[in-house]
Amino acid sequence: MILYSYYRSTSSYRVRIALELKGLEYTVRPVNLVKDGGEHRSSTYLELNPQGRVPTLIDGDVKIIQSPAIIEYLEAVYPANPLLTGSQADRALARSVASIIGCDIHPLHNVSALNKLRAAGHDEAFVEQWIQGWIADGFNAIESLIKDKAWALTDEPGLADVYLLPQVYAAQRFGLDLACFPRIARVAELAKSHAAFQRAHPASQIDSPA
């Protein structure tokens, strides 16, 4: 498998975590979203992904864009080490946490949305407040849904954690204090010592400047 990824893209990050947790071999092909106006805007990449975003997964003859679709594909085609476990209610709860992040938080601090704010004349202080506000709103809901111990919802990391850890990374990057979210902070601390999360972390990527 080939994953077209950008090191600090949270949607790319969540796919890397899923691949690592499922024990699947893959090769990262970096797509720099900043250099020379962004490699994702090149005609070569647009032929691969007409939306011009990351991630894109290539698995043999199969090409998939959008991280939720990629993760769903991996879960269906490679059922070992499942990310969704337990009852249908348990799985629905995990999808709910993932959807809060993937549908309600992440799109509102994606670079395209932030650039619209800047183009409308908002300064960086406003943009930072915007980002922190939307992440905090989502985290308040998630904090009430996850457990007091172990991973977000289960004894082993699963779909909720796949989405949560990249969002924590973004929250910290944009200066949101996690002190108000002790359960989320607990999961983030647990992930620091887990090999799959370590390998998927932005700092561990071949295109990371760190």
**Domain boundary residue, one of 37, 59, 81:** 81
Do residue 18 and residue 38 come from a single domain?
yes
**Domain boundary residue, one of 25, 47, 81:** 81
Would you place residue 21 in the very low, low, confident or very high pLDDT band (cuts 50, 70, 90)? Answer: very high
Do residue 94 and residue 183 come from a single domain?
yes
In a domain, 57, yes or no: yes
Do residue 56 and residue 115 come from a single domain?
no
Do residue 62 and residue 135 come from a single domain?
no
In a domain, 210, yes or no: no
Do residue 95 and residue 67 come from a single domain?
no
Closest C-alpha among 199, 148, 192, 194 to residue 172? 192
pLDDT tens track for 66-91: 999 999 999 999 999 999 999 999 99
**Domain boundary residue, one of 31, 63, 81:** 81
Residue 55 confidence (pLDDT) = 98
pTM: 0.95
Do residue 65 and residue 113 come from a single domain?
no
Do residue 109 and residue 161 come from a single domain?
yes
In a domain, 207, yes or no: no
Q: Is the pLDDT of residue 112 over 90?
A: no
pLDDT tens track for 126-142: 999 999 999 999 999 99
Cβ-contact 163, 14 below 8 angstroms: yes
DSSP-derived 3-state class of residue 142: helix
Would you place residue 200 in the very low, low, confident or very high pLDDT band (cuts 50, 70, 90)? Answer: very high
Q: Could you give the CA distance from residue 158 to residue 119 in angstroms, rounded to a whole number? A: 38
What's the CATH number where 38 sits?
A: 3.40.30.10
Neighbours of 104 (CB within 10 A): 13
In a domain, 147, yes or no: yes
In a domain, 71, yes or no: yes
Do residue 63 and residue 116 come from a single domain?
no
Do residue 130 and residue 184 come from a single domain?
yes
Do residue 24 and residue 103 come from a single domain?
no
Q: Could you give the CA distance from residue 190 to residue 167 in angstroms, rounded to a whole number? A: 15
Do residue 46 and residue 96 come from a single domain?
no
What's the CATH number where 102 sits?
A: 1.20.1050.10
Q: Is the pLDDT of residue 155 over 80?
A: yes
Total domains, the chain: 2
In a domain, 70, yes or no: yes
Q: Is the pLDDT of residue 35 over 90?
A: no
pLDDT tens track for 43-67: 999 999 999 999 999 999 999 999 9
Q: Could you give the CA distance from residue 87 to residue 153 in angstroms, rounded to a whole number? A: 12
In a domain, 201, yes or no: no
Q: Which conformational region is residue 183 in: left (phi greater than 0), alpha (psi within -120 to 50 degrees), or beta?
A: alpha
In a domain, 202, yes or no: no
- Amino acid in position 207: D
For residue 126, CA distances in Å to 33, 110, 134, 171 come to 23, 15, 12, 16
Do residue 32 and residue 114 come from a single domain?
no
- State the residue range of the domain holding 35: 2-81
